[in-house]
Structure 1
Amino acid sequence: MDNGGTERIREALADLCEPLHDVFAQAGASKILKPPDEADGDHQDEADSDEVPDFSGPEYGWFRTHAVRAHAHFYLSRRNLDPWTLAGNHKRNGELWLANGAFELRILHGVANDIPKPGYNLARRAYYRNRPLGGTPLFGVQETIPGLEHHRLLILWHVGPTGEPALRVVRPIGDVMTGRRVPVDVDFTLPPTAAELEQMQFDPSDDDIFLNIADEEEGNDFGAGGISG
């Protein structure tokens, strides 16, 4: 296990704990994502109902997902994320990406406990091929030496029924065979604050996952219902 690499991941993500939780909480609270009676309380009349359609049904899950992602991009674009910057092309199916030197981060909607597969797109498949932490040296030099390492991470987001966002960080390490899960060597829940991230304990796992959160209860529930779809 490469403790240095995992520590650098933790240090890099500490700058995003508060901003990401804040913007996804804001995005999830958007008026257009709530049923009309929840959006306007007791003051809603029939005219208001026409202005605020009810998008809470399962048939609008795709819309809620895109709407939350659009709101999150809007709020992030107006925040100082230094040393992180917004990347990707949001006009291309709502890409929500961040970059910070040796770190790339793609923010995807989480469904159940599965990690989205890269599919057949060559660029997406390449993104998933991180060199495992502590793995094979590159030209005789361990790749995780500062300055030589590169981390392509995923954050899987979900906004639950109460409007509180859940953000899961994973680091994929290879292609996905048909019918199998995405292999990763980092997998943990991003806490709301940098202070909480600093206090988290990271331990080796026996299941090809190099990081687990100590004393975490039953993993993450990304399949729960809610405004994020």
Structure 2
Amino acid sequence: METLDPDRVVEQFAPVVEPLHRSVVAGVREASRTLGRLRLLGAQYAYLHSHLARAIAHEAFAHEPEHGRWRLVGYHGQNGAFWLSDDRWTARVLHSTSEKDVPSAGPNGARQAFYTNQHLFRMEADALVERHDFLVLWRRHLRTEEVLLRLVHTLEPWPHGTKPRIDLSMPLLPDVDEFRGLVFVPREDPDAGSITLPEEELQEETDHGDDLLR
């Protein structure tokens, strides 16, 4: 059985990396400015920041001129849905609280179905043409306030508070050339893999105290 080359995953998402980054960064910054003017930046209003940031990012992406085959799908008015699709793969943009946090599917049947996917790296050579659903998770670095995006591929829903069932976690870097420079590093766990930075860039990230690995 052949496995899907991780480089093909990178190439599939490459056209959307930069416009998505610009959109999410715009959403996060404008949400912070708006809530700051309203004096609503306390921890109890964190939910409001994530919802507002997602709405602004959704609108910003709608005005991005170039993003390959990727386009907005779904109805944003339904709980602020921010979904992208290239007609083969779908990505759902969500907020996460840390570099290790992956929001669980919860009890909703449609969301559980979205989280259920065939293993990317244990499939036949036609894996690329199969439908897959991904999560794009955004967060702000606690110290630097930098907006970071991460691509996650889930295998099945998991109970809240337990280890996420995923086979891919990779940073969506803001520069497409750097994104294409990511290197696949298999985990010891045969059911999981990760993609990380080239060695010299990984050391630089570690020196800055922000581990992009899961």
TM-score past 0.5 threshold? yes
Which consecutive segments of 4 or more residues in structure 1 shift more than 2 A? 1-8, 32-36, 159-164, 214-221
Residue matched to 1:189: 171
Distance in 2, matches of 1:35 and 1:178, equals: 32
Alignment of 1:127 with 2:111, yes or no, is: no
Alignment of 1:110 with 2:109, yes or no, is: no
Two-structure CA RMSD over aligned residues (Å): 2.6
Distance in 2, matches of 1:213 and 1:193, equals: 14
Change over 3 Å in CA distance of 1:191–1:53 after alignment to 2? same
Change over 3 Å in CA distance of 1:178–1:2 after alignment to 2? farther
Change over 3 Å in CA distance of 1:62–1:110 after alignment to 2? same
Residue matched to 2:8: 8
Q: Which deviates more from structure 2 when the two are superposed, residues 102-111 or residues 80-89?
A: 80-89
Aligned 1:66-145 pairs, distance under 5 A: 66-80=51-65, 81-112=67-98, 113-135=100-122, 142=124, 144-145=125-126
- Which amino acid is the alignment partner of residue 33 of structure 2? K
Distance in 2, matches of 1:126 and 1:206, equals: 28
Aligned 1:1-229 pairs, distance under 5 A: 4-30=4-30, 33-34=32-33, 52-80=37-65, 81-112=67-98, 113-135=100-122, 142=124, 144-145=125-126, 148-160=129-141, 162-177=144-159, 179-207=161-189, 208-214=191-197, 215=199, 216=202, 217=206, 219-220=211-212
- Which amino acid is the alignment partner of residue 24 of structure 1? V
Q: Is the partner of 1:152 in helix, strand or coil?
A: strand
Gaps of 5+ in 2: none
Q: Is the 8 A contact 1:17 1:191 kept in 2?
A: yes
Question: Greater Rg, structure 1 or structure 2?
Answer: 1
TM-score normalized by the length of structure 1: 0.78
CA deviation after TM superposition for structure 1 residue 73, in Å: 0.6
- Which amino acid is the alignment partner of residue 92 of structure 2? R
Distance in 2, matches of 1:193 and 1:67, equals: 25
- Which amino acid is the alignment partner of residue 92 of structure 1? Q
Greater RCO, CA 8 A, separation 6+: 1
- CA shift digits 1:38-75 (9 cap, x unpaired): x7xxxxxxxxxxxx311211111111111100110110
Q: Is the partner of 2:163 in helix, strand or coil?
A: coil
Distance in 2, matches of 1:18 and 1:72, equals: 13
Gaps of 5+ in 1: 40-51, 222-229
Distance in 1, matches of 2:4 and 2:136, equals: 21
